[in-house]
């Protein structure tokens, strides 16, 4: 067994008895934090958001210096778990460290729309966040696609179609993705959407 493995309880059968042996974790705090980061990503991919939240909380405790990525990953886990107020807090931490992070800015705007009951106020704040995305990031196909998803999920079909069209112009593979993406369920049967993804 690798001596850098997590502390694992090994049970060894020996001459009719059992010997208990505990290995000691010899990794540095940064190595343990990196392992937790990787585990959190895997847990999010598998839909185990509460476990991912715990991993990222432990990861953050181990690191001396925090990065926007730490807070962003924790925010994503909270967001997917429906804990929007906690997600907003972590997105704010990430954006305070790196304000130019466009994907987190889009996710933060989406979280605002879920967390604030007054939809007019929610859209005012979400639009203000989207306006902060720097011009060079506004042309990035993933940002365009995610903004299109945000608009489609929240009742702004014309904006969704406009951003989806721009995303597809830059990266045509998004035609295929959009055909099955549940974010576009509200506009899937429109002629405009069908033309975009054909």
- Tell me which residue has tokens 């069908």: 194
Q: Does domain 28-131 have CATH number 1.25.40.10?
A: yes
Residue 110 main-chain phi, psi, to 5 deg: -65, -40
- What contacts 39, CB < 8 A, 6 or more positions away? 52, 55
Residue labelled with tokens 């987190």: 104
Task: Return all residues near 8 (Cβ < 8 A) that are at least 6 apart.
Answer: 1, 22, 23
State the pLDDT at residue 96. Answer: 95
pLDDT at 7 over 60: no
Task: Give the residue extent of every domain in the chain.
Answer: 28-131, 139-198
The residue-averaged pLDDT of 54-71 equals 93
Residue 46 phi, psi (nearest 5): -95, 5
Tell me what pLDDT residue 38 has: 96
Listed in sequence order, the residues at least 6 apart from 84 whose beta carbon sits closer than 8 Å to its beta carbon are: 78, 111, 114, 115
Reported as a single tens digit per residue, the pLDDT across 120-176 is 999 999 999 998 887 778 789 999 999 999 999 999 999 999 999 999 999 999 999
């Amino acid at each position: 067994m690798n001596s850098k493995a997590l502390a694992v309880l090994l049970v060894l059968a020996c001459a009719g008895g059992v010997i208990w042996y505990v290995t000691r974790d010899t990794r540095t705090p940064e190595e343990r934090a990196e392992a937790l980061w990787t585990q959190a990503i895997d847990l999010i991919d598998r839909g185990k958001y509460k476990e991912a939240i715990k991993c990222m909380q432990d990861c953050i405790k181990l690191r001396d210096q925090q990065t926007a990525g730490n807070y962003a990953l924790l925010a994503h886990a909270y967001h997917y778990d429906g804990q929007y107020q906690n997600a907003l807090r972590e997105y704010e931490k990430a954006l305070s460290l790196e304000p130019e992070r466009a994907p987190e800015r889009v996710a933060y705007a989406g979280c605002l729309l879920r967390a604030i009951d007054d939809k007019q106020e929610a859209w005012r704040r979400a639009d203000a966040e989207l306006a902060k995305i720097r011009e060079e990031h506004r042309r990035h196909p993933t940002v365009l696609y995610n903004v299109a998803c945000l608009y489609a999920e929240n009742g702004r079909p014309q904006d969704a179609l406009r951003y989806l069209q721009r995303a597809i112009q830059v990266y045509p593979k998004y035609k295929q993705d959009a055909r099955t993406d549940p974010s576009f369920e509200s506009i899937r049967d429109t002629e405009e959407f069908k033309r975009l993804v054909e």
